[in-house]
Structure 1
Amino acid sequence: MKILITGSAGFIGYHLTKVLAIRKDEIFGLDSLNDYYDINLKYGRLEDLGIHRCNISYNKINKSSCLSNISFIQLNLEDKENLDLLFKQEQFDYVINLAAQAGVRYSLVNPHAYIDSNIMGFINILECCRNYKIKHLTYASSSSVYGLNGKQPFSTQGNVDHPVSLYAASKKSNELMAHTYSHLFNLPTTGLRFFTVYGPWGRPDMALFLFTKAIIENQPIDVYNFGNMHRDFTYISDIVEGIVKVNDHPPKGNELWNCKNPDPSSSTAPYKVYNIGNSKPIKLSYFIECIEKELGKEAIKNLLPIQPGDVPSTYADISDLVRDFNYKPKVSVEEGVKNFITWYNDFYKAK
């Protein structure tokens, strides 16, 4: 299969690219390489895939030197003309869209970045998938769409009409936009609501990275909701396994779909939405304890109230993913934290 992965220099995109390349698919990575976080980390991921920074320039295709089945292009999804040209030239079979402006709190101070990347960029992806007859578009949604919905575990049958951040609103918008294209143009689309992904090569704005760095440097960590947050931490390899399984099986219309009692996660169109998480929420204070144990140091904790845009707890109901794909998360939080810290110490030479 020839697969376009957008956001391939990102955390999930990098790991997914590596797994599919090893599987011998022909992978084409795309990333804007913006400076939302440390650009050197993004370059580090690409260099691990054989794409060297000295060869990267905007809208220029790079072939990996160590994995012949990986290509890469630096391109913004908002660049409609060049994106269309890329689809026309490369004739992809499948598209996995992971490119987005990430971060809940950042959306409070820079909302336009989310409209540009997550809305305008996504409509450009949809148009290209429609025009070039893509067999399946798999795209990243987020657990943040559940917003004020307090009924847990979060189910894809549940209400997502009350987002509490523009990031969450943009992700729900993606799901609605995807359904429209599935309905009007018979484009198979699957949205994956990720639940707190963590692991090696993770994002510097996420808790595990922030806490590890601060503890090593003897700096205080900000612990929101006084440590009483619960998160459905999901290890990166479990996430990638789910993406691969879903991508390989485009959805078909739900023959049992009832317009008088509609299932929000499916449709008469080839459309589906899944939660993808560990389905075992962990208290933030315990997560910090796991980090402290691996580092052999106690954190200096700055206990704070919950922040605007945050939700106190996330918990994924993954029953439909289990039913359809026999999905089984394997990595415990203790093992996952250990793996991350091993990578962190190696990459940053912390020890």
Structure 2
Amino acid sequence: MGDTKKKKKTTKKQRAKRRKVMFIVEIVILLILLAAVFVWLKLEKIDYNKLDEDDILMNDLDDSTDEVMGKYTVIALFGLDNRDNGTYESGNSDTIMLASINNDSKEVKLVSIYRDTYLNVKDDTYAKMNSAYQRGGPKQAIEALNTNLDLKITKYVAVDFNALVETIDLIGGVDIDVTPQEVAKINEYSGEVAQVTGKKNTTLSGSGVLHLNGVQATAYARIRKLAGDDYKRTERQRTVIEAMITKVQKSGVTTINSVVDEVFDDISTNITPKQMLSLGSHALSYKMVDNSGFPFELKTKNMGKRGDCVIPLDLETNVIELHEYLFGSDTYTPTDSVKEKSKQIINDTGYTKETEAVKIQ
């Protein structure tokens, strides 16, 4: 049952240094939205999943929350760490994003759910969020997002390695400022990326601003075993995305059309062609206004067989902040379901919202 008691407006601390994470799947989705209006005849290329939306689990939200959320379209975006291209029904979703579109203003906000976030992924099993997709495909991953975060997501898009590599190659590569240590890791990771995608592997040399092809840029975006670990990796991913956006903005319709020709084969979704066209018809009106990462306040902890996990401090507080961020809501009250999950995470980890949070620059 959803709580109906309204919560007093919570004053939020400034998040001037909020982590602004943009993962691999972002650019693919943006290109799809931008190009759909031009390529409606090619929509049959998509791997369409006829997921029964009425069967997707979500919490019982109060009328006020329903009304606010009804003004937005929220799509779940999954980047799968699969080694077999075109496999979309399983695999860890190492990229998890929410794209929130204001139906009136067309403003878009993107939130990356950190893949190692410790949440209820299925049947009261608490583990890293990226394992929900492995446990039950897109349906289970969507349900985990809905029930942990009080959302009503029914639409998703999933992609794999190949989409990013193809997109970067088709726009002519990107220029990235890389260190000697990063070049060494790019060369180390490029072999696997090339093997998975069937592309040619070319050794990179030098350092500084270098021109990277799709394989090399994807390898760069995957680097995590240097100073900064996974947090630094997200910064690299943002760098790649920004470089790609710069190139795409300078590209013509012909280039975008070529990208769609290649990328549409590398996605799975339950967004129907009609719905895709509706989104695409507003493509030029969309405005990217902000992006961030969830949880906003967090700490890491080794959870035994689960490994190092990202712990929200606490889940209830972070979900309140998420609703304010995505929907501008200052009256949202978490459901009993979220409160119970928040208490369970506190019980499992010993971390509360008073625990000192990790400061992410």
- What TM-score bracket applies, with the shorter chain setting the length? under 0.3
TM-score, normalised via structure 2 length: 0.25
TM-score, normalised via structure 1 length: 0.26
User: Greater RCO between the two (CA within 8 Å, min separation 6)?
Assistant: 2
